[in-house]
């Protein structure tokens, strides 16, 4: 039993009241926490993933977990899946109760350092009690996991007894215990932590790898993907790239070498009660995500009845990159395994029916329902791959009528479980949702994502070019014409709309832009709109109403007007982080198709950077927010508030340009120039001229805003609302220019 006091109702209320504070300052608190703790306790570097510290993933994940914990402090059952995920990860790293004492000390101190006098004794006491409530829960669960490990409660030396190249990218390592003792069983789908010394860091690092074979008494097998573009002999990626350890294994560890290995853990595994039944199983994976599912298929084909229906579905970029292809194909010939391969890029040697069955990414709509065993309400579905792949497949299965409790996914991140759940529009709702303008870049994205959640008959799409919306009009959406530049068209444009998404006017002139926004807001009030969402911009250091960026001025004034009108129309202003797609603006209009060697900008490239965000993810998150409001307006958390939706990590301009250079295969450099020199660049004047007026100097104020850290704030809100980790900048850039 814990000696720590239970939380009082007053303390619970205090914690709930700090939720908005965590939304704004959570990432700063956790960043300070990790910095201070690891400086004081460098021995803990072996526990924490160093690249995830550097790229901000670890602080973001903890900030999201704290936010979720505070939000559900009165309903901890909602976090049970998240706690199980974390405790299994902790057990694989051999986290001990004393570690929680260290974490608690530095976390509370970080709150004080960041919040200052705002952290009153009452709030500090409530958070201290709340921390130990959660810590005791996790310590207790981890104790249970250790007790189930048959005495294996610390790192154990394993020797590499075989190393097999499975594909162009994936190599298997066969690991046998040095002490020769039989290995404990594990559940197919679970993982082990592997710890290796990293010379560049001068300490060890651990990573989790799914076991890729059925349980054997004398060895474990892991199958590891080698990441492209990482040289394991170069020390730099050791602190910046999460895939460095995998490449270190590929490049420097061979048969006879020793690694430290944990007991198997993980909450994603084949249901033990199902392994020897006739329940149909569908295994769906992409890339290296096939590793735990290979363990499952090997187990099922060795134990399960021959009458069992089993479908192995896998997607790979190329046939040559697909691991275990021959093995799975042989299983499909000698056992009741159906195999379906999706391949994105074909070569001349690829043969349909052997190397691939479908071209493109995994798409369940290309398969017959009978091959997914949809008619059997007991069928279980196991999914593993990139997070967006998994959530997309999950959505596809649910759309086909599969119950959520029959869908299992391999997740190594917490926010999937801790997000506020955003659902499709409730079936009994008749709320009319309007979007204006609905045909621009962001507006189109919002509409596309709304149309996946809302019947078209409940959408009112207002656009300068309504002809671009004929498809949705044909599906039942109401389409109207209106134009910011024709104010009279706004008078009745929003009639009958209950909730309006107002996409900001694309103008460089602050006064004209603010006037246009006010006219639209006034028209919405006149038409009886009940709530207005507004697309703002991510300058201003989080939620501040001050910015040196000229472009932010109109947004701040519009937000003030919305706040002054909230008694007439409640609002939510969505501050969007800078679009990943807008990188040319911040690279002097660099053209990847005609690249120069040197990028000249009024910035050194170092210092505070930009929390880049993919525009379509902003559209998706905005649609989710709108639907969340419509479903439950009384409890909508962002009523009359500003919310920042920034990207998953802050990236300096130097790293931004390095990423672009690596994507196009060309080293790029930065040369700092003065603002005067910058505005005289011919491409700058060409791109920042509006109605024959050169506004280059006004736009150049954005550079000072970046230097001031206005665009560097990372908010957990985007991941929470999406229900997944936002897409990495590297991936978006590769899609844009790769």
Contact 110, 28 (CB under 8 A): no
Paired strand residues for 340: 313
Please state whether the predicted TM-score (pTM) of the whole model is above 0.85: no
Record the tokens describing residue 509, joined without a space: 């002139």
User: Which residues, 6 or more positions from 493, have their beta carbon under 8 angstroms from its beta carbon?
Assistant: 436, 462, 480, 481, 482, 523, 527
Domains in the chain: boundaries: 9-147, 156-261, 272-418, 433-737
In Å, what is the CA distance from 301 to each residue of 104, 268, 285, 298?
47, 19, 18, 5
Of 34, 67, 142, 169, the active-site residue reads 142
* Torsion angle of C-alpha atoms 357, 363, 368, 374, degrees rounded to 10: 130
Record the tokens describing residue 51, joined without a space: 């690249």
* CA angle at 95 for the pair 91 and 98, rounded to the nearest 5°: 145
Record the tokens describing residue 236, joined without a space: 């730099």
pLDDT at site 691 = 60
- The number of angstroms, rounded, from the C-alpha of 684 to the middle of its chain's C-alpha atoms is 34
pLDDT at site 633 = 87
| Superfamily of domain 156-261 in the CATH hierarchy | Translation factors (2.40.30.10)
Record the tokens describing residue 60, joined without a space: 């973001």
Contact 12, 134 (CB under 8 A): no
pLDDT at site 685 = 67
What DSSP element (H or E) covers 625? helix 615-631
Question: Which residues in the chain come in under a pLDDT of 50?
Answer: 415-423, 427-428
pLDDT at site 182 = 94
pLDDT at site 238 = 62
- Is 3.30.1330.60 the CATH classification of the domain at 433-737? no
Q: Is 668 helix (H, G, I), strand (E, B) or coil?
A: coil
Q: Is 340 helix (H, G, I), strand (E, B) or coil?
A: strand
Backbone angles phi and psi of 66, in degrees to 5: -65, -40
| Known active-site residue 735 | no
Record the tokens describing residue 468, joined without a space: 């671009």
Q: How far apart are CA 279 and CA 652, in angstroms?
A: 51
| Known active-site residue 142 | yes
Q: Where are the alpha helices (DSSP H) in 355-465?
A: 387-399, 415-418, 441-451
The 478-481 sheet, strands edge to edge: 478-481, 459-463, 433-436, 499-502, 531-537, 571-576, 641-645
User: Which residues, 6 or more positions from 572, have their beta carbon under 8 angstroms from its beta carbon?
Assistant: 531, 532, 533, 534, 625, 629, 636, 638, 639, 640, 641, 642, 643
Q: How far apart are CA 245 and CA 239, in angstroms?
A: 10
| Superfamily of domain 9-147 in the CATH hierarchy | Globins (1.10.490.10)
pLDDT at site 260 = 98
Of 100, 209, 244, 638, the active-site residue reads 100
Neighbours of 478 (CB within 10 A): 18
pLDDT at site 423 = 44
What DSSP element (H or E) covers 672? strand 669-672
Bond into 521 cis (ω within 30):
no
Q: Where are the alpha helices (DSSP H) in 93-168?
A: 97-115, 121-147
pLDDT at site 418 = 42
In CATH terms, are 156-261 and 272-418 the same topology? no
Contact 408, 268 (CB under 8 A): yes
pLDDT, tens only, 239-283: 667 788 999 999 999 999 999 999 999 999 998 765 567 889 999
CATH of domain 272-418: 3.40.50.80
């Amino acid at each position: 039993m814990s000696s720590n006091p239970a939380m009082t109702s007053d303390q619970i209320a205090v914690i709930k009241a700090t939720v908005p504070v965590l939304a704004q300052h959570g990432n700063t608190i956790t960043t300070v926490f990790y910095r201070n703790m690891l400086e004081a306790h460098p021995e803990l570097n072996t526990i924490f993933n160093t690249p995830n510290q550097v790229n901000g993933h670890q602080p973001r994940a903890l900030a999201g977990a704290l936010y979720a914990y505070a939000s559900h402090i009165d309903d901890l059952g909602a976090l049970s899946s998240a706690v199980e995920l974390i405790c299994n990860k902790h057990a694989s790293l051999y986290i001990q109760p004393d570690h929680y004492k260290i974490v608690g000390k530095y976390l509370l101190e970080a709150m004080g350092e960041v919040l200052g006098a705002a952290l009153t004794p009452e709030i500090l006491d409530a958070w201290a009690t709340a921390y130990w409530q959660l810590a005791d829960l996790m310590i207790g669960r981890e104790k249970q996991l250790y007790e189930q490990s048959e005495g294996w409660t610390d790192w154990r030396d394993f020797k590499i007894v075989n190393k097999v190249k499975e594909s162009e990218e994936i190599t298997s390592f066969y690991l046998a215990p040095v002490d020769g003792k039989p290995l404990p069983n594990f559940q197919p789908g679970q993982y082990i932590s592997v710890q290796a010394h990293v010379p560049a860091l001068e300490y060890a690092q651990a990573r989790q790898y799914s076991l890729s074979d059925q349980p054997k008494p004398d060895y474990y097998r892991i199958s590891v993907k080698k990441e492209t573009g990482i040289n394991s002999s170069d020390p730099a990626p050791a602190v910046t790239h999460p895939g460095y350890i995998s490449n270190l294994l590929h490049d420097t560890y061979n048969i006879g070498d020793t690694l430290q290995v944990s007991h198997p853990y993980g909450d994603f595994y084949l249901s033990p009660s199902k392994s020897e039944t006739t329940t149909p199983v569908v295994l769906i994976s992409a890339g290296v995500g096939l590793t735990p599912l290979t363990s499952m298929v090997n187990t099922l084909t060795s134990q399960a009845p021959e009458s069992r229906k089993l479908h192995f579905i896998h997607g790979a970029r190329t046939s040559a990159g697909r691991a275990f292809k021959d093995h799975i194909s042989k299983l499909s010939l000698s056992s009741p395994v159906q195999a379906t391969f999706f391949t994105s890029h074909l070569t001349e040697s690829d043969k349909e029916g052997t190397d691939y069955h479908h071209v493109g990414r995994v798409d369940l709509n290309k398969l017959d329902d009978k091959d997914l065993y949809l008619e059997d309400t007991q069928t279980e579905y196991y999914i593993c791959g990139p997070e967006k792949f998994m959530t997309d497949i999950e959505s596809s299965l649910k759309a086909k009528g599969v119950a959520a409790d029959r869908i299992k996914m391999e997740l190594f991140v917490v926010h999937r479980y801790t997000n506020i759940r955003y659902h499709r529009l409730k079936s009994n709702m008749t709320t009319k949702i309007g979007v204006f303008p609905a045909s621009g870049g962001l507006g189109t994205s919002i509409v596309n994502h709304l149309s996946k959640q809302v019947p078209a008959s409940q959408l009112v799409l207002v656009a300068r070019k309504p002809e671009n919306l004929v498809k949705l009009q044909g599906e039942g959406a109401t389409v109207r014409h209106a134009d910011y530049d024709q104010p009279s068209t706004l008078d009745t444009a929003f009639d009958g709309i209950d909730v309006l998404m107002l996409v900001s006017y694309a103008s460089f002139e602050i006064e004209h832009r603010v006037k246009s926004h006010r006219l639209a807001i006034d028209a919405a009030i006149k038409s009886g709109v009940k709530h207005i969402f507004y697309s703002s911009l991510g300058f201003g250091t989080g939620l501040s109403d001050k910015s040196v960026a000229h472009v932010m001025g109109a947004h701040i004034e519009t937000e003030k007007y919305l706040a002054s009108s909230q008694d007439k129309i409640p609002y939510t202003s969505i501050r969007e982080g800078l679009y990943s797609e807008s990188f040319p603006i911040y690279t002097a209009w660099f053209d990847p198709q005609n690249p120069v060697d040197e990028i000249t900008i009024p910035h050194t490239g170092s210092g505070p950077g930009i929390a880049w965000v993919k525009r379509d993810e902003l559209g998706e998150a905005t649609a989710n927010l709108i639907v969340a409001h419509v479903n439950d307006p009384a409890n909508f958390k962002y009523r009359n508030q500003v919310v920042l939706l920034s990207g998953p990590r802050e990236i300096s301009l130097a790293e931004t340009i390095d990423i672009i250079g690596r994507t196009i295969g060309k080293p790029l450099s930065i040369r700092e120039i003065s603002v005067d020199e910058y505005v005289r660049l011919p491409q700058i004047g060409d791109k920042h001229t509006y109605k024959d007026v050169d506004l280059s100097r006004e736009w150049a104020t954005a550079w000072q805003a970046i230097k001031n850290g206005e665009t560097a704030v990372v908010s957990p809100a985007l991941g929470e609302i999406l229900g997944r980790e936002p897409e990495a900048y590297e991936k978006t850039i590769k899609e844009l220019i790769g």
